[in-house]
Structure 1
């Protein structure tokens, strides 16, 4: 980029900066949305809850099925 081009496009710098920031925000949000770690943690907690006898097998199966569906959606990106 030449000096003249930089001077002419200088007023557009804030717009380019905002675009860059918005792109980073979208990337971060998508990474967090598709991250399977929270679902895996919930599955571990659910198993611990069942092993302590705090929930029955039927409740465990229902919640586990929902968490596995969530995990599948997150990893199918």
Structure 2
């Protein structure tokens, strides 16, 4: 029965491969988002933008909160509006 299952399941092998690849990519993205170096770069970029007058202090605070939420793994609130 194993040979028959293998032969009948063979056409689905590419689909299984794509699903596995998607899982690996998702894991990598989540790891990168929580990486302290990435969060630090975002915080430094927000600070530099505020000092250059490109964003307000309120926008900088929003960026800081988003970066901290990413690092702690807190999900975004469903009612949050992205700009």
For these two proteins, the number of residue pairs brought into alignment is 68
- TM-score norm. by structure 2 comes to 0.53
Pairing 1:4-19 to 2, within 5 Å after superposition:
5=2, 7-9=3-5, 10-19=7-16
- TM-score norm. by structure 1 comes to 0.55
Query: Which has the larger share of helix?
Result: 1
Q: Spell out structure 1 runs of 4+ moving beyond 4 A.
A: none
Over the residues paired in the alignment, what is the CA RMSD in angstroms? Answer: 3.0
Q: Whose radius of gyration is greater, 1 or 2?
A: 1
Higher RCO, Cα 8 Å, sep 6+: 1
CA shift at 1:12, angstroms? 0.5
